[in-house]
Amino acid sequence: MKTIKLLKILITIIFWGMIVLLGLGIICFILLLFFEDLFPPFLQGFNMLFNDRFPWQVWIGPIASVIAFVLFILAINYLRKCIAPIQEQRFYSEEVISNLKKSGRLFIIIALGTSFIRIVGVFMIKNLTNRLAYGGNLGGQIGVTNLMQTTDSSVWSYLGAILSAIGGTNFFLLIIGLFLLVFSSVFKEGQLLKEENDLTI
């Protein structure tokens, strides 16, 4: 039971710590947006990111990260709700089964969703940089020729960018999500067996 108590402490710290970080992030974003004079010079000019010079594709990655962060907090909260019934040795309760399933699904959604959005973002950013490099600044035939010459190398650069966009963290979250779904299924089977045993008694 000491392990469960330690797990409860760690999950509680992670949960409330992430809520504090989210709150501080929202406050800093609002302050940077409306009261940038309060910050050092290198942090000023934040409003420039919202003008026409910066396309909306630039915000795909940050927005995906914020959404994933909020979903991660929800997933940790569902795990937190499992601790009390497990401490009371109610392993096969509907509360544990349901919360494990919800948490597992959220981890899988985070892993797959952020990977997909980041991959789409990679292609969009690459296309934007190619347009700037070969269309606007270099001009004409030279730009098109250079683009055709670098097609083979750009395939590898795309592949590298995609792999870095997915990252090891998303694979880890996917494994955790699947693991929690397996645990939920095992507890569900245990619940059914327990109900059958109670009926036969």
The residues spanned by each domain of the chain are: 1-52, 55-200
Q: What's the confidence (pLDDT) of residue 31? A: 81
Angle at 196 between CA 191 and CA 197, to 5 degrees: 95
Cα 98 from chain centre:
22
What residue type is 166 in one-letter code? Answer: I
23-78 residue pLDDT tens = 998 888 888 777 777 766 666 666 666 666 656 666 777 788 888 999 999 999 99
Q: Note the pLDDT tens digit of each residue in 129-188.
A: 666 565 544 344 434 444 444 444 566 666 666 666 667 788 889 999 999 999 999 988
